[in-house]
Amino acid sequence: MKIIKCDHYDDMSKKAAQVIISDMKEKKDIVLGLATGSTPIGLYKELIKANQEKQISFKDVMTFNLDEYIGISQKHPESYYQFMMRHLFNHVDIDQKNINLPNNDASSIDKHIKAYNDKMKKHPIDVQVLGIGANGHIGFNEPGTPFDNETFIVDLDEDTRIANQRFFDSLDEVPKKAITMGIKNIMRSKKIILLASGIHKAEAIKKMIEGPITTEHPASILQLHPNVEVFVDEEAGSMI
Ligand code: GLP
């Protein structure tokens, strides 16, 4: 794992964006794996800026998102579909048909999940963006999830629901389930860019890098991936 210690959130966002911008310049039809959460918002702003300045184009780019809630519609403002539209896709020249997210409105979720896995096998992810949960989750692979899962339906941990409550009016409104890429999908990506910001992520980052590889800390599996770049701000990197 390559660790890039950054001064603050903006510095982290810019440095991580530089890696993706340079990969996008090199491969016009790059396949990106994308994450939601507060952490990558600054990175997406940088990608939007680079697109508007015509440094990069999304015309031939394909994207796959890590996860999506179950129990709210795609139209709900806090669905990850809406998040991605708001923070990235509405502002860049991406072709709508190249955007892939797990679809919580699919008539048959099982069929949809199989199709999602098949499509990712056909279009392997070149660069996967990841955040990390304070409990070590990546995507929504909560502690205890087997490492050999492909996209599946997960019961969200209470900790995760509490962490995400800030986006909803009450804890009751936070969905209890989600569809997430499994660790196996994530580990197949050619490169992984993981971002973490804030003191509440410091322990999760330490365990990911220095701890034993265990399903109890899902991000620890990344120690076995050959091409991971971890961008941390001063606080998130304070224990390493
Ligand atoms: C969310 C997402 C993850 C994300 C993590 C951290 O619930 N499912 O993909 O990395 O939790 O979120 P944040 O960046 O807001 O701290």
pLDDT of amino acid 78: 96
Helix axes 9-26, 41-52, angle to 10 degrees: 50
Q: Which of 96-100, 105-109, 172-176, 229-233 has the lowest mean pLDDT?
A: 105-109
- CA distances to 45, 76, 171, 215 from 167, in Å: 20, 12, 10, 27
- CA distances to 121, 146, 161 from 83, in Å: 25, 28, 17
pLDDT of amino acid 119: 98
- Expressed in angstroms and rounded, the spacing between residue 132 Cα and the centre of ligand 1 is 6
Q: Is the Cβ atom of 37 under 6 angstroms away from ligand 1?
A: yes
Q: Which of 23-37, 61-75, 102-116, 122-136 has the lowest mean pLDDT?
A: 102-116
Question: Could you say which of 51, 65, 98, 135 is catalytic?
Answer: 135
Note if 135 is an active site residue: yes
Note if 137 is an active site residue: yes
The 3-state DSSP class for residue 172 equals helix
Q: Atom 13 of ligand 1 has which residue's CA nearest to it?
A: 37
Return the ligand 1 atom nearest residue 66 CA: 9
Return the ligand 1 atom nearest residue 38 CA: 15
Q: What is the rounded CA–CA span in Å between residue 152 and residue 179?
A: 6
Question: Could you say which of 68, 142, 150, 233 is catalytic?
Answer: 142
Confidence of residue 27 (pLDDT cuts 50, 70, 90): very high
pLDDT digits (tens, 9 = 90+) for 127-156: 999 999 999 999 999 999 999 999 999 999
**Mean pLDDT of the chain, nearest integer:** 97
Is 0.85 topped by the overall pTM? yes
Return the percentage of the chain with pLDDT > 90, whole number.
98
Return the percentage of the chain with pLDDT > 70, whole number.
100
Q: Atom 1 of ligand 1 has which residue's CA nearest to it?
A: 37
Note if 142 is an active site residue: yes
Confidence of residue 216 (pLDDT cuts 50, 70, 90): very high
Phi–psi pair at 228, nearest 5 degrees = -120, 130
pLDDT of amino acid 105: 82
